[in-house]
DNA sequence: CTCCTTCCCTAACAAGTGTTTGGTAGGTTA
DNA sequence: TAACCTACCAAACACTTGTTAGGGAAGGAG
């Protein structure tokens, strides 16, 4: 029941359509190893030959599955953001209070770091530069949506009196956002702390501070 | 990678001596523009031709002042770390209490971000990968020293009862460290907040939390 | 004037880059 | 059996990369 692209007889094949059909499972396998190399070495420092090496094949063979190095990066980031927003939207639609929303968002974020470590690391390093390119415009969109969700929740929290009023709300947003995502630089799945445990400690620090209450 | 292979020259190759003497002022000028480009595009994505463009000259001309692209990066980072530790050592030698030490370190960090925005941004992006190279071993040394200073202060603070005892000290260290340095990703000198003001708000959040005290 | 130094340009180099083309081993299907 | 498809290899392509060599303009010193 699946339709094959490319066997529509008379059409002179616009251009970049693959005339063969690689299996999606193999694609995902290769994308996973590519993501690891991107995360470890940086996108620009990663050559397609390094990816091919890590996958046990030759550079040219990658082009059977993908039509460019950039499209690999694209697919990695798009897939990650897709899953991320599935989680976020669920949280945001749950109708929780401001504090509970923040807690849920942070916890969800650490789960995403756990599940998509490589993709998050790539996002962290390259998003700012990539977002200017038209092809990666969805990165900018995501950032905007991200900011709206967090800022809105924080403002609601201040209005409700559960967050301190004296703080610069925008500074607070960046503070929490950065705090959460940079954890990808040291977090390793399977370590002694579960994502939920790390989230709990982070939230404890962000919400209640590290100083002893006087 | 010290020498080109395949070029079996008969000369013993003792060449690495500058037979000319460029002025230090011009060097610093060029290093500043190079740092801006590195920070904006990433080290690997930055070609020497882009640096030369930004400096209003041609690629080859850079090699009158520097002997490689890598040595530019080296000098930028080394200079920054040098000044950074001058500030840190002063703070650490002042004999302050744990909380005051943390406050001073954070404030000093934001001042460094203000003064060396580009260098900090480069450091933030590339340090982890570079630290493995022998040439940039001082980056790893700095990180170790950094960790010792912060961890020691935090432990002292817990022992003295000014920091909460329930927190994972290592997690707290990474929390504060990351919180401070990632600010470089959005901080712009000359903005509406001074480094000291940002430090004050950050410290307020880190020490006392964002939640209202119940 | 000539000599010398500083600073940059012109023009190239070899290695490495992403990508394309044509081919082919091995399995599946007719 | 033959035809076909998937997934790869081998070899090249055009281009970009960091880097080098030689030359020359400007200016000061003798």
Interface contact A42-B129, CB threshold 8 A: yes
Orientation angle between helical segments B117-130 and B24-41, nearest 10 degrees: 70
List bases in chain D with any atom under 7 Å of a protein Cβ: 5-12, 16-22
The interface residues of chain B toward chain A in range 114-173, judged by CB-CB distance below 8 A, are 125-126, 128-129, 161-164, 166-168, 171-172
pLDDT in tens, A117-151: 999 999 999 999 999 999 999 999 999 999 999 99
Chain B contact for A41, CB < 8 A? yes
CB contact under 8 A, A211 and B44: no
* Closest to B126 (Cα-Cα) out of B195, B67, B190, B76: B76
B-chain residues within 8 Å CB-CB of A171? 193, 198, 201-202
Q: How far B136 CA sits from the closest chain A CA (Å)? A: 16
Nearest to B201 among A44, A171, A209 (CB): A171
Find the nucleotide nearest B55 (Cα to C1′).
C8
Mean pLDDT of A91-117: 96
Average pLDDT over residues A4-27: 50
Q: In this complex, is the C-beta atom of A196 within 8 Å of any C-beta atom belonging to chain B?
A: no
- A209 CA to chain B: closest CA distance, Å? 4
Positions of chain B with pLDDT under 70: 1-20
What pLDDT, on the 0 to 100 scale, is given for residue A4? Answer: 31
pLDDT of residue A73: 98
Q: Which nucleotide is nearest to B62 (CA to C1')?
A: C8
Say yes or no to pLDDT of A7 above 80: no
Is-same-fold flag (B21-67; B69-208)?
Answer: no
The yes or no reply on domain A20-67 and CATH 1.10.10.60 is yes
* Eight-state DSSP code of residue B211: B
**C-alpha distances in Å from residue A128, one per residue of A71, A74, A101, B125, B179:** 18, 14, 26, 12, 18
pLDDT surpasses 60 at A15:
no
What class has domain B69-208?
A: mainly alpha
* Mean pLDDT, range A57-67, rounded to an integer: 94
Cβ contacts of B42 on chain A, cutoff 8 Å: 42, 44, 126, 129
pLDDT at B214: 72
Instruction: Measure the CA–CA gap between A177 and B12, rounded to whole angstroms.
Output: 56
pLDDT at B20: 59
Q: Chain B residues with CB inside 8 Å of A198's CB?
A: 171
Residue B183 CA to residue B56 CA, distance in Å, equals: 31
Q: Where are the domains of chain B?
A: 21-67, 69-208
Average pLDDT score over residue span A186-209: 93
Q: Which residues of A touch B168 (CB under 8 A)?
A: 193, 201
pLDDT band of residue A24 (cuts 50, 70, 90) is confident
Please report the pLDDT score of residue A23 as a whole number. Answer: 82
| Closest C1' nucleotide to A61's CA | D8
Nucleotide nearest to B48 (CA to C1'): D18
| pLDDT reported for residue B45 | 95
Cβ–Cβ gap A201/B45 under 8 Å: no
- Which class for B57: exposed (0-12), middle (13-18), buried (19 or more C-beta within 10 A)? middle
Distance from the Cα of B25 to chain A's closest Cα (Å) equals 31
Q: Determine whether A169 is exposed, middle or buried from the number of CB atoms within 10 Å of its CB (0-12, 13-18, 19+).
A: middle
Q: Does domain B21-67 have CATH number 1.10.10.60?
A: yes
The CATH H-level superfamily of A74-208 is: Tetracycline Repressor, domain 2 (1.10.357.10)
pLDDT over 80 (residue A57): yes
CB–CB of B211 and A211 under 8 A? no
DSSP lists the bridge partners of residue A163 as B211
What SS3 string covers A168-213? CHHHHHHHHHHHHHHHHHCCCCCCCCCHHHHHHHHHHHHHHCCECC
């Amino acid at each position: 029941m699946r339709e094959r692209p490319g066997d529509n007889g008379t059409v002179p094949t616009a251009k970049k359509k693959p005339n063969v059909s690689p299996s999606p499972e193999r694609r995902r396998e290769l994308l996973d190893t590519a993501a690891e190399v991107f995360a470890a070495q940086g996108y620009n420092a990663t050559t397609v030959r390094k990816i091919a090496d890590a996958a046990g094949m030759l550079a040219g063979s990658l082009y059977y599955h993908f039509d460019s190095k950039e499209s690999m990066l694209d697919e990695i980031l798009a897939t990650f953001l897709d899953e991320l927003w599935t989680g976020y939207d669920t949280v945001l639609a749950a109708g929780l209070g401001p504090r509970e929303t923040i807690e849920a968002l942070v916890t969800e974020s650490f789960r995403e770091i756990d599940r998509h470590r490589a993709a998050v690391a790539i996002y962290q390093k390259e998003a700012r530069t990539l977002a200017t390119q038209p092809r990666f415009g969805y990165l900018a969109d995501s950032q905007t949506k991200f900011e709206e969700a967090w800022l809105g929740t924080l403002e609601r929290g201040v209005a409700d009196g559960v967050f301190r009023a004296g703080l610069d709300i925008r500074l607070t947003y960046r503070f929490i956002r950065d705090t959460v995502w940079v954890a990808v630089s040291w977090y390793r799945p399977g370590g002694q702390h579960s994502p939920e445990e790390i989230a709990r400690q982070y939230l404890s620090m962000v919400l209640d501070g590290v100083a002893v209450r006087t």
